[in-house]
Amino acid sequence: MNWWKKLSELLSAANHHHTTTGTKDEAGATLVNHWQRGVPVYSERVVTPTLLFFVALAAVGLTLALVRFFSPLGPFSGMNDAYAWGIWKTFNVMTLTALGSGPLAVGMAAWVFNREKLHMVMRTALVSGFLFYATGLVALGFDVGRAWNFYSIVMPWRWNAESAMLEICFCMPVYCAIFLLFENLPLVLERFYYTGTDETKVFLRLCAPGLRRIYPFMITGAYVLPLMHQSSLGGLLLLAGNKINPLWQTPCLPFLYLLAAGVCGLGFVTFLLLMSALRYSRPLDLGVLGELGNLLSVMCFVFLGVRFIDLIWRGQLRAAFAFDKMSLLLLSETTLILIPAIALRSKIVRQTPRKLLNMAVLACLGGLFFRFIPTTIAYMPARKASYFPALPELLMAVGYIALGIAAFGLAVKYFAILPGEIKDWNYMFKLVRQRHQAAQSKGETPWPASLSTR
């Protein structure tokens, strides 16, 4: 394992520290690390107009999805035989699960490449990743025309093992329902532990060692599976052959899809942390965020390196700079990733929240462009046809996303997901205890609402 040690040392930044409570900066001054522990958002109302807005959008989308299940696909979508895949597949699944690759990208950085600081933001990555995958799978379930035949998935003798589609049909649900759910289990059990009866506490204490024992196995699976299916999403497009513009159709597509998942995963976790901190008035920890920005920049460079080596290798460089429609698409996608790649090399950018946020958004957009374009804009079927999503199709796609946003908004209030300070955590318990006593004297049952309402 010597080479491995060397590699991880090489990848470690110069200012890499093992502790998370208090660190010294390069000048030797002690800094406060603001992110010490996941803390629920405890001083906010649970039901807000914003939440209701997203719940309403999700309700519309899911109602339509339910109706669609008992109706043909035709009236619900703008898809046709030439563009047989609409935005449910090409956007909700093939594009948005890149944003949901935070658990893969941040998790591998933390557990494999030893970026210890990033353990603090794993819960944010895990919950958002789970929601992207879960809503993507819901989208997929209502997209397929003959969903009732999906039971074949438990009959290996029916599998066409060489099909990228099979790999996705198997890996994605298994990853989401077993591995991501398991990784999200501690934060759910933690709530049960702090809100439950004494029996619950005893039971959870008994369970904890077992969970910890299988944890390293489970996170290994949680990285192998998405490495497989995130690349298979690109692998799907290989069979489409020259229907896809040669600027995107390449044998490297699976690898590039995986790298784009890394770019989007790191970018989105950075974005989500900054936005949540802004929304819920949390202090920022620029040590952790800077680390994310640094890795994001490296990932962007790796992506662009592979992308352009591939273009040169296949002799497509001239086409890439032809400044026609496809070339401009490629160049805009490249620029979106190149700007954060270069800018985030600067420590000033990494340590300025607004700039970091802007760069994370650009990187995410670039990654999403790369994942989306070959499925639709650069997809040129043999016959003349056009596709634009129908209104119900759009409402359903928006509904799935809104469902994820609403669920995240709720989750951060019930579970210790967003990183905060230990003093916040202690203050929350003091508040809860006070309310508990106040409620008891009035004869009310305070749990669990007392944790999260003003």
Q: Footprint of another protein on residues 75-94 (CB under 8 A)?
A: 75, 79-82, 84-85
Lay out the site mask for another protein across 322-361 (x = CB under 8 A, - = otherwise): ----------------------------------------
Among 30, 160, 197, 441, binds another protein (CB under 8 A): 160
Instruction: Choose between 140 and 344: whose C-beta lies nearer to another protein.
Output: 140
Per-residue contact flags (x/-) with another protein for residues 12 to 31, judged by CB under 8 A: ------xxxx----------
**320: which residues sit within 8 A by CB, 6+ positions away?**
247, 311, 327, 330, 331
Rounded to whole angstroms, the Cα distance separating 94 from 103 reads: 17
Side-chain-facing half-sphere of 285: CA atoms under 13 Å: 25
Residue ranges of alpha helices (H) inside 144-197 are: 164-174, 181-195
How many angstroms separate the CA atoms of 162 and 387, rounded?
29
Cα angle 449, 451, 454 (rounded to 5 degrees) comes to 80
Closer Cβ to another protein, 164 or 357, answer by number: 164
Is the Cβ of residue 127 or residue 362 nearer to another protein in the bound state?
A: 127
Find, among 362, 328, 324, the residue nearest to 342 by Cα: 362
What does the block give as tokens for 96? 């948005």
- Binding pattern to another protein, positions 238-277, x when CB under 8 A? xxxxxx-------x--x-----------------------
State the minimum distance, in angstroms, from the CB of residue 398 to another protein. 22
Residue span binding another protein (CB under 8 A) among the ranges 47-55, 164-172, 326-334, 406-414: 164-172
Q: Which of residues 190-229 bind another protein (CB under 8 A)?
A: 190, 193, 212, 215-217, 219-221, 223-224, 227-228
Does residue 169 interact with another protein by CB under 8 A?
A: yes
Segment interacting with another protein, rule: CB under 8 A, options 42-50, 183-191, 321-329, 402-410 = 183-191
* Long-range pairs, 448-453, Cβ under 8 A, ≥24: 448/191, 448/195, 448/414, 449/46, 451/40, 451/42, 451/195, 451/414, 452/40, 452/41, 452/42, 452/44, 452/46, 452/413, 452/414, 453/45, 453/46
Q: Calculate Rg over the CA atoms of the chain.
A: 23
Q: Is 391 in the site for another protein (CB under 8 A)?
A: no
Q: What is the total count of residues that contact another protein (CB under 8 A)? A: 76
Closest CA to 35 of 120, 103, 146: 120
In whole angstroms, how close is the CB of 120 to another protein at the nearest point? 9
Query: HEC states along 320-363?
Result: HCCCCHHHHHHHHHHHHHHHHHHHCCCHHHHCCHHHHHHHHHHH
- Within 395-434, which residues bind another protein (CB under 8 A)? 416, 422, 425
Residue 377, burial from CB neighbour count under 10 angstroms (0-12, 13-18, 19+): middle
Q: Select from 187-195, 296-304, 338-346, 430-438 the region that touches another protein (CB under 8 A).
A: 187-195
Contacts of another protein in 138-157 (CB under 8 A)? 144-147, 149-150, 152
Minimum Å distance from CB 53 to another protein? 31
Q: Which of residues 90-119 bind another protein (CB under 8 A)?
A: 111-112, 114, 116, 119
Nearer to another protein, 159 or 280 (CB): 159
62: contact with another protein by CB under 8 A: no
